[in-house]
Structures are given as C-alpha cells and as structure tokens.
Amino acid sequence: RKEVEQDPGPFNVPEGATVAFNCTYSNSASQSFFWYRQDCRKEPKLLMSVYSSGNEDGRFTAQLNRASQYISLLIRDSKLSDSATYLCVVNTGTASKLTFGTGTRLQVTL
Amino acid sequence: GAVVSQHPSWVICKSGTSVKIECRSLDFQATTMFWYRQFPKQSLMLMATSNEGSKATYEQGVEKDKFLINHASLTLSTLTVTSAHPEDSSFYICSARDPAGQPQHFGDGTRLSIL
C-alpha cells in the first residue's frame, strides 16, 4: 500500500464549478499535512497546510480527519488558472521528510 | 519569502557523463536540504537528505556512490549524478527547510536528459 494515495484524475470541470480532492495516508504517526500545487514541468509550490480543525484560504478549504487518515481539498468557483496537479503531502515527523502522493490532475475549462 | 535556487535548470548530455546540480538557499541558512526525483506522471520521490557538515542520508534503493551529495556550507548542497545513463533522465528537485519552521521551500528543479 502506498504511504499517500490520491485519485490521479484527471478531473475536468467547467469554470465556476466546485471540485473536491481526497487523499489517504497510511502512517498514523504522521504529524503535518499539506497540499501542494505543481504545474507541468515546474517545482511544487505550497498551496496550504492542513489542520485538524479545517482551514480555509479564499476559495480553498482543506480538512483533515486523523481517525480516518483522510485529507481533503475543496476548490470553489474554479478558475482556468487552477488547472494543475494537486499533491497531497504528509510529514511523518522524521527529520522533516515529506512523502508525496502521485497527485490529482485538475483541468478547468471554459 | 525564503528562496531556493537550483542550477542548472536543464541539462542534456551523453551517456557516461557526470552531472552536478547545485541547490542554494538564498536568504536563509539551511542545515538540511532534500533531493527528490520525479519521473513523468509519477510522484516526487525522496532520494536523500543532505546534512551540512556530515554525510547524507540516502533512501532505500538509492545508490550513494551513484548520486554523490555534498553539503559543505549552510547555503549550498550539490548532487552529482556520476556516469549518468539514459535511465537517470528525470526531473531532480531540491528543497530546504527554513529554520523558522515548515514547510520546505523547493528549487525550480533540474531536467536531466541523458542521450
């Protein structure tokens, strides 16, 4: 079983749609959780951290369920510029090592 | 914000060549840097953790004699792919942890193509 699992997609949605991505992780000792965004042939960029209480940043909402070892990302009012691959990332706390999911590809269309 | 610079961004060379990639933290000191590799349509995979002033820690399955890591200063780590072959062609990305806290800051990546 992979340490971090994501649906690879692609998710094709029209502009203005709401889309949700899910991620599960296998290590119950994981301590920190993040969503990164990666554009084609570019480095990953931090989108947001994920907290147990849930957190929101503009159109983006992230949630964590430790009991189910599940993380989600909700994007409201999708923009064309949101098209990218979204990476679920987990830090197990060992020397700050990050484990990346394979990513979920989002394509927002007109 | 914290910036990590990676150089070169693109390398094309013949099989058997050794290639050095540099990773610099521009506005903070990084005692720990990380080297990742990403094959097409796959996830980033951690290759090794680079520790300033000491030996790097390699992940299982990564040959330390093949991928030489040097972290001689608090702002520079280098990865040398020795005697590169076509199967080493990949996207190599470094990151550094800002001592002020998480998360890691990534370099722009180096696209390595071995002919």
What is chain B's pLDDT, residue by residue, as a tens digit (115 residues)?
568 999 999 999 999 999 999 999 998 888 889 999 999 888 899 999 998 888 999 999 999 999 999 998 889 999 999 999 999 999 999 999 877 665 788 999 999 999 9
Eight-state DSSP code of residue A82: G
Q: Does A34 touch chain B (CB under 8 A)?
A: yes
> Between A59 and B97, where is the model more confident?
A59
Shortest Cα distance from B77 to chain A (angstroms)? 17
Q: What is the model's pLDDT at position B101? A: 61
Q: What is the model's pLDDT at position A92? A: 77
| Mean pLDDT within A67-92 | 95
Q: Does A25 touch chain B (CB under 8 A)?
A: no
Looking at the DSSP assignment, which residues form a beta bridge with residue B10? B111
Interface test with B, best of A25, A43, A102, A104 (most B CBs within 10 A): A43
Task: Spell out which residues of chain B touch residue A100, defining contact as CB-CB under 8 Å.
Answer: 36, 43-45
- Angle A23-A33-B100 from CA coordinates, rounded to 5°: 160
User: Taking CB atoms and an 8 Å limit, are A41 and B111 in contact across chains?
Assistant: yes
**A28-38 b/e with 16+ CB inside 10 Å = b?**
eebebbbbbbb
Residue tagged 């706390």 (tokens):
A93
Tens digits of per-residue pLDDT, A30-50? 888 999 999 988 899 999 999
User: Taking CB atoms and an 8 Å limit, are B102 and A49 in contact across chains?
Assistant: yes
CB A105 within 8 A of CB A10: yes
> Identity (one letter) of the amino acid at B110?
T
Eight-state DSSP code of residue B59: P
Closest CB to A32: pick one of B36, B49, B102.
B102
User: Taking CB atoms and an 8 Å limit, are B109 and A42 in contact across chains?
Assistant: yes
Task: Spell out which residues of chain B touch residue A34, defining contact as CB-CB under 8 Å.
Answer: 103
List, in order, residues 6 or more apart from B55 with CB less than 8 Å away.
none
Nearest to A51 by CA among A35, A38, A37: A35
